[in-house]
Structure 1
Amino acid sequence: MNKQKPIIYVKLHTMPYLLVLLFTLIVTGVFGQGTSIATPIPDSTKSSTLLAPLSKQEVDHLFVLGKLWGFLKYHHPAVTQGKFNWDKELTDIIPAVMATRDKQQRSDSLLAWINRLGDVPACDSCKDSTIKNVALRPDHSWISRAHFSEALINKLIYINTNRIRGDQHYIRFGSEDDIHVAAFEHENSYTSMTYPAAEYRLLALFRYWNIIEYWYPYKYNLGQSWDDILKKFIPLMIAAQNASEYATVVQQLIATIKDSHAVVQSRVITEDIGKYYMPFTVKFIEDKAVIIAITNDSLARRSGIATGDIIESIDGVSISELIRQRRPLISASNNGSFLNILRYTLTRSRKETSELLIRRGKEFKKVVSFNTATRALSKIKPGTFPFERDSSLCRIGDSIGYINLGNLERKDSLKLRALVSSVKGLIIDNRQYPKTQSAGDLIGNAILRPDPVFVKFSSPYPDQPGLFPYSKPTTMGTTGTTGYFPPRIAILINEETQSSIEFQAMVFRKSPGAVLIGSNSAGADGNVALINLPGGIYTYISGLGIYYPDGKETQRVGIIPDIAIKATIKGFLNNKDELLEKAVEYIKTGKSK
């Protein structure tokens, strides 16, 4: 395992609109994802003492243990230094805790366990942060509410006071000034356990729950008690009867944070969704599942399917019912983002054929979709309209420039500057994620005056788990070297505008004369951090809090347009890009209505 100190290669104050790409590279590349030292392969066939249904007392025992296990993981020096296999400590202590008959016995058992970890050296200089400008603070009041003995309470308070600072065995930080980026390390995914034993299903729950408890910047914005979620999912994890049910419970758990970055993937989940692809892609337009592109021409002709068809049902299940069934399984920041995520699994199947009810105009028709196990990656996410599909830089008429952020490449730098300097208005299309390395900074340097403030972050504080101070408001660090700025700039956004391109929309909006046109973006701004879970499951979270300088939220809300307009089915059928047309109208007239 490479123990080199993480490096942030670009100064935050000089190129912040590359933060998302940078942080993704750091989290998934520089840090790496190892397994814990001296990690034995557990026996997943061993019979468990945890059997459904659990009694109320058993749930309470596990609830307290899950919180305590996570607290020690990120606070006790022996654990944070990697001296113990903390996964195994959990699976070993569960039987002892479950055997206790009352809260005093439970406290005695937990205290004896903690004492076996060794002494915690006193740290006279270790104090809780006095930082006042924070988005989120840790809450340890549960320690006094857990009916622990006085000796155990005092022990936990002492551990918190004398906890280790900075990098830990299970988490490391890349830092620049007052911004810290976390990566989760040495988290074994136990890929051989497609259906883990009950203790390891609980490990998945406790691991994920405590990552959110201590390292998620938006924990305050979940809309429900995080403690209640832990209590709810303990019996659900125990009750899962097979690999598919376990994967479903994990998806349901992760969906509770409502973060569109939190994609959940595993071999079992892929098998449940289905290995076959229907020969088309869909998009929700006016809340209808509209076929927007054909991905296999011969199979589509054989199926009698065409672009513009509206899917009413799949294998006898209505689209509205499929939405209801799948909503609890998808972590989405807002409804637009949910439908955008859903559309990619809606056209997957476990069968070589699917029965569809489609609507074409006023006619309803039953067809058979002939599906394929292969699909060209280039056709999975096609642009809905010609400019999205085919252009990176072009002119619309003589005086309007068009830039598609999804297709723009860094080699286009000189062409971009020439275009920007020769037009009276500019359209920046932020509706597609970049296909290659982001070139958003090229646009920023071409359209922005130097150094306007546009964002502030909240980030995990390495010395105090659960604390998220705000950073100082951050400038863009742009050079503005063209010497010319188009008087009117239209930035197109919708539910497909997510992550780095949301961030860049915030940047571009700071250009004089710029407006946002479209609908709310996905509401999952910022970087991502990878999380491994037992059963070969992995997922992500948004690792930094992203805010406007005045503290206004972007997560779950999205970037809000200045001129609101959505695509319509009529417009699509007539090959009209209504957002683009509104942008042209704004640039020509300056009118926002």
Structure 2
Amino acid sequence: MKRISIITIILLCCVTALKAKSNIDSLQIAGLCKVWGLAKHYHPSVTKKKVDWDKALIDRYPEFKEENDFEAYNQKIGEILNALGNNKETKIVTEELFQNIIDNDLSELESFKFLSDTNKYVNRISFSWINDSIFSKEIKYRLCKILTNYKPYKSKFLKGGMVLKHPENKFEELDSITEPYRMLGLFRYWNTINYYFPYKHLSDNNWDSVLVNAVSKFSEADSYLKYIRELMQLSSKINDSHGYYNYTTHKYFKKKTEVNDSLKKKEGYIPYNFKLFDSTVVISKVLLDSSALCIGDTVIKINKTELKKYWRIYGDYNSHSTENRKVSLCESGLSNFYNSEFSFKIFKNNDTTIITESRVVDRETKVASKYRKPPFSYSINENVGFVDLTQIKFGKLEKALKEFKNKETVIFDMRGYPESMAPLALPHLLSRNKQDVASFYSPNKKYPGVFVKQPTKSQHYRFAIAKPFLFLRKQFKGKVVVLINAEAISYSETVCMIFKAYCDDVTFVGTPTTGANGNISTIYVPGGMAFNFTSLDWHFPNGDQLQRIGIIPDIYVQETIEGIKLGKDEILEAAIEYAKKSKQ
């Protein structure tokens, strides 16, 4: 919730302002970014931390802001490469020597021949930019030599095993984020995604174009808040629902957050939750015993915030894999507004009305409103049982499954994120045999940009933690119905994949899940900020894509405004009706 609140602050500050245009050459700075990234990941002086590559950029960046012609630009690129040491490649490059190296396909280079095994490796990086016209033959040659001379070495910038960690200097205590540090933030983020994000090719945006467009924006972001906004916009371009703004420890923003947290105690959260239908915002839950507004009321404006405008800009600052997830995130953002009182412009009875709500709710009430209430398992009727897999604990699930073992149908609710490891019992519940749940590729530490296929034996999900469920000597053979929506993300989608792998008769009811699965890595940028992204290339066992698609329901059921007004759970009701018809 803290992350949502920070995002809300930033969105509410997004007022269009006139800015002085930068004279910066975006193509040249984009070229510098790629050169810097190549050296960071493939030159031994940087991977072994013999050279402070951040400092080299910070010190020399101001020279690239000047107006540079072709010769001056390449001279400065050569000078920054000289900081790597071992400058033997500065000799004059003949046409024959240049063509000999530039024409070679990457997979033919001695160090990269392993890429020919396409069943085991996936190459997600291209070095074709080295041949861009902004670079001289001498610079192209030197960049190619970094690759041809490369010997596999585990970079000191990488930690962790299958899931990589990217430890960096966060520059938390800077008094201000000057342009060289802002560019370092852009270069770090862009290159980490370029080399380690497996779904770059699935984005709506060309990653090279994103870089060029971002250069002038980061150059002009002359305050800490503007810098954060540009980073958030940059992170939204990867179209990954794991790609969210994580936290900040910068003293300026920490102080601002402390002030905001103090205001929340004096003020409070908005006493309503909201649902979006297209671009229409409707009250879905009232958190007060008596209130100014009712469930089903259409809200046009909250205080000074036009909700249609809020919806339009929300996707610019929040990475989302699908439109369904964008809607879900926007609903959370609206539901976390806080103030001492709220003025609502609503549409009701074919007319607009202004209503003021002077009462608010505390944090505990707001958090509790996001979760379904117990019981988390119960018999719907003699033939159908219900289990909320997002809330139920391990021991309670064991008890529920014993009670339901003779039911014809069990409905599992996966509309959310599991609070426990209880779903890992499912393979024992549904089958005695091991099944492949997923296949995936993980980043190759020694070859940034390459992903290596992992053995499927670890993807059976029959873990020792589930041993208490070995009492199920006779596996459940009835029908399984799973409720899903865009609140199901990551681990939740893995649970859905377990159902698909281990259950002979499973039906998904609701709307598509988020479409973001695979373990998360984090990028640290100057100013003490962190941004997450999905770092594993995760698929169904047959290779079908999950990212940006999600689990698609067999029975599509969308909530309606009328259903919300009547207090219905339309997805659950559809599942019960399906179970009844299946019996017939």
Which TM-score tier does this pair reach, normalised by the shorter chain?
Answer: 0.7 to 0.9
Match of 1:129 among 114, 121, 126: 114
Alignment of 1:165-244 (within 5 A): 165=152, 167-174=154-161, 180-185=162-167, 187-193=168-174, 195-244=176-225
The code of the aligned residue for 1:570 comes to E
The answer for the alignment partner of 2:12 in structure 1 is none
Query: Which residue does the alignment assign to 2:484?
Result: 493
Question: Are 1:150 and 2:137 counterparts?
Answer: yes
- 8 A Cα contact 1:520 1:561, kept in partner: yes
Which of 563, 575, 581 lines up with 1:589 in the alignment? 581
Confirm or deny that 1:375 pairs with 2:363: yes
**Which residue number in structure 1 is paired with residue 92 of structure 2?**
none
Give the C-alpha shift of residue 109 in structure 1: 2.8
Instruction: Tell me the CA shift for residue 471 of structure 1.
Output: 3.9
By how many angstroms is 1:243 displaced?
2.1
How do 1:357-372 and structure 2 match up within 5 A? 357-359=345-347, 364-370=352-358
- Structure 1 residue 402 and structure 2 residue 386: aligned? yes
Displacement after TM superposition at 1:351 (Å): 4.2
Q: Which moved more, 1:201-210 or 1:187-196?
A: 187-196
Which stretch of the first structure deviates more once superposed, 483-492 or 126-135? 126-135
- 1:355 paired with 2:347, answer no
Q: Where does residue 310 of structure 1 map in the other structure?
A: 298
Q: Is the 8 A contact 2:432 2:475 kept in 1?
A: no
Which residue of 553, 558, 561 maps to 1:566? 558
Query: TM-score of the superposition, structure 1-length normalised?
Result: 0.81
Aligned equivalents of 1:193, 1:377: Cα separation in 2: 37
Map 1:151-550; keep pairs closer than 5 Å.
151-165=138-152, 167-174=154-161, 180-185=162-167, 187-193=168-174, 195-266=176-247, 268=253, 277-285=269-277, 288-295=280-287, 297=288, 301=290, 304-315=292-303, 317-349=305-337, 351-359=339-347, 364-370=352-358, 374-376=362-364, 379=367, 382-383=370-371, 388-435=372-419, 437-473=420-456, 475-478=459-462, 481=470, 482=472, 483-510=474-501, 511-550=503-542
**Contact 1:353–1:369 (Cα < 8 Å) also in 2:** yes
| Residue number in structure 2 paired with 1:113 | 80
Kept after mapping to 2: 8 A contact 1:449/1:478: no
Q: CA separation in 1, counterparts of 2:87 and 2:515?
A: 42
Q: Secondary structure at the match of 1:183?
A: coil
Normalising to structure 2: TM-score of the pair?
0.82
Mark the CA change 1:512 to 1:121 in structure 2 (over 3 Å): closer, same or farther.
Answer: farther
- Normalized per residue, the structure richer in helix is 2
Root-mean-square deviation (CA), in Å?
3.0
Residues in 1 aligned to 2:364 and 2:210: alpha-carbon distance in whole angstroms: 39
CA-CA distance at 1:218 after TM superposition: 0.4
Call closer, same or farther: CA 1:193–1:284 in 2, change over 3 Å. Answer: farther
1:288-317 superposed Cα distances (whole Å, 9 cap, x missing partner): 43333344x37xx4x513444332222254
What is aligned with 1:41? none
Q: Greater CA deviation, 403-412 or 314-323?
A: 314-323
Equivalent residue number for residue 36 of structure 1: none
Q: State the shift of 1:99 in Å.
A: 4.8
Q: State the 1:166 CA deviation.
A: 5.0
- Cα distance in 2 for partners of 1:240, 1:292 equals 38
SS of the residue corresponding to residue 457 of structure 1 reads strand
Q: Pick which of 372-381 and 446-455 moved more.
A: 372-381
Report the more deviating stretch, 270-279 or 249-258.
Answer: 270-279
Percent identical? 26
How far did 1:333 drift? Answer: 1.0
**Does 2:39 correspond to 1:53?**
no
1:29 aligns to what? none
Asked if 2 retains the 8 angstrom alpha-carbon contact of 1:451 and 1:476, the reply is: yes
Query: Contact conserved, 2:204 with 2:237, CA < 8 A, in 1?
Result: no
Equivalent position amino acid for 1:153 in 2? K
Cα distance in 2, alignment partners of residues 115 and 242 from structure 1: 32
Contact 1:194–1:535 (Cα < 8 Å) also in 2: no
Unaligned runs of 5+ in 1: 1-50, 175-179
For 1:121 and 1:498, locate their aligned partners in 2 and report how far apart those are by CA, in whole Å: 51
Residue 239 of structure 1 deviates from its aligned partner by: 1.1
Choose from 109, 123, 128 the match for 1:141.
Answer: 128
Aligned residues: 525
Q: Give the deviation of 1:453 after TM superposition.
A: 2.4
Contact preservation (8 Å) 2:57, 2:184: yes
Instruction: Letter of the 1:113 partner, please give it.
Output: I
Q: Give ranges in structure 2 of 5+ residues lacking alignment.
A: 1-18, 90-108, 464-468
CA separation of 1:112/1:150 partners in 2, compared to 1, >3 Å: closer, same or farther? same
Give the Å deviation of 1:359: 4.5
Q: Which amino acid aligns with 2:433?
A: P
Q: Would you say the 8 A contact 2:269–2:339 is kept in 1?
A: no
**Residue type of the partner of 2:58?**
T
Q: Deviations over 1:235-277 (max 9, x none)?
A: 0011123222222111111111111112214564968999552
Q: CA deviation at 1:347?
A: 3.5
In the alignment, the residues of structure 1 paired with residue 412 and residue 229 of structure 2 have an alpha-carbon distance, to the nearest angstrom, of: 39
